[in-house]
Amino acid sequence: MKIVIDAHGGDYAPLEIVKGAITSVNLIEDINIILAGKSSEIKSILDEYGYTGDRIEILEASEVITNEESPTAAIRAKKDSSLVVGLNKLKTDDDVIGMISAGSTGAVLSGGLFIIGRMDGVLRPSLAPTLPTLLGGKTMLIDCGANVDCKPEYLEQFAVMGTVYMQSMLKVQNPRVGLLNIGTEDKKGNALTHEAFELLKNNKKINFVGNVEARDILSGNVDVIVSDGFAGNIALKATEGAVMNVLKLMKNTINESGIGVKLGALMMKKAFKAIKSKMDYNTQGGSPFLGVNKIVLKTHGSSKAETILSCVKQVVEIHESGFIEKLRAGLLENV
């Protein structure tokens, strides 16, 4: 089982990516990693960290796609970029089960779409992170930015894809699907959600529980939240931003306070740590790009070695869960 990793994607590439690869082969049996990128840089990090095994392979790629470039143009122009070289390897080598990148979201999505290709029957592949909830479970938010202008039938299919994912990966038997909306009443929303609501309500393959509000991303009241990619991305970033900002405000308030508060904060350290780890999206792996022919995982730009390890585990789990085959079967039933 081989997994390709884009060695030059993300804020801490290539160092943290390569370290993540080393940790992964050390901790997970039966996998080999292919690092796509600049051989000399990768090799010197492997040497530095004393990796001498044969389970990490380097696939030379001389270019890097940045966040500033137009994704589609970059995918076309930079044929020798770590992302494109990696995706081509994923496409052509049957032993490779998936690809991970912490690089430009747009480029990963464009590359996934144009190189790996849409699964038969899929209208629009979509980016679908599973987020930690207050109840300790996870909620999938689908779509989070791959499709900014959606038709109602795309949202219906997001619900099916999300349902299959939560069933196969998280063993949720009958995932509750909610439609992201501006109120919980049936008639709420815009033109898109009005039509999507009817399609979801009448779809027998899913367990549609109605409209949900953005606060349900954290509440754990539903398993899958369906949205167009624009609103989904807004909801995701508003949530992440608010969590981050409240924690920052807390830190600042403590720093500006007297010794009593500071001592109190010290005594609460364990509790703060528990909260932070519960809300920390970075240790949670990556967002799968659902609906393309093989596993493509986009992880946060700020990913470090630990996140890469989580992502490798996630790719293995998705592969072993048979998600892609189940999705293929699930979609065919639709016809």
- Contact residues for its own copies (CB under 8 A)? 68, 70, 134, 145, 148-149, 180, 182, 185, 187, 189-191, 193, 213-219, 229-231, 233-250, 253-254, 257, 260-261, 263-268, 270-271, 274-275, 278-279
C-alpha to C-alpha distance for 88 and 268, rounded to whole angstroms: 49
Closest approach, Cβ 217 to its own copies, in A, equals: 7
- Which candidate, 130, 141, 90, places its Cα nearest to that of 114? 90
Q: In what order do the strands lie in the sheet with 224-226?
A: 130-132, 138-142, 224-226, 176-180, 207-212
176-180 and 130-132: which strand pairing? unpaired
Q: Which is nearer to its own copies, 235 or 312 (CB)?
A: 235
- Which candidate, 50, 49, 51, 78, places its Cα nearest to that of 65? 78
Q: Which is nearer to its own copies, 233 or 314 (CB)?
A: 233
Closest approach, Cβ 194 to its own copies, in A, equals: 9
Closest approach, Cβ 169 to its own copies, in A, equals: 24
Instruction: Name 186's Cβ contacts closer than 8 Å, sequence gap at least 6.
Output: 197, 210, 211
Closest approach, Cβ 272 to its own copies, in A, equals: 8
Closest approach, Cβ 37 to its own copies, in A, equals: 24
DSSP SS3 for 190: coil
- Which candidate, 334, 302, 318, 272, places its Cα nearest to that of 99? 318
Q: Which is nearer to its own copies, 31 or 236 (CB)?
A: 236
Beta strands per DSSP E along the chain: 2-6, 32-37, 56-60, 96-101, 126-127, 130-132, 138-142, 176-180, 207-212, 224-226, 287-290, 295-298
Q: Are 165 and 140 in contact (CB under 8 A)?
A: yes
Q: Which is nearer to its own copies, 267 or 335 (CB)?
A: 267
Q: Which is nearer to its own copies, 259 or 335 (CB)?
A: 259
Closest approach, Cβ 196 to its own copies, in A, equals: 12
Q: Which is nearer to its own copies, 30 or 68 (CB)?
A: 68
Closest approach, Cβ 209 to its own copies, in A, equals: 17
Beta strands per DSSP E along 78-172: 96-101, 126-127, 130-132, 138-142
Q: Are 307 and 300 in contact (CB under 8 A)?
A: yes
Q: What are residue 131's DSSP bridge partners?
A: 139
Q: Which is nearer to its own copies, 62 or 253 (CB)?
A: 253
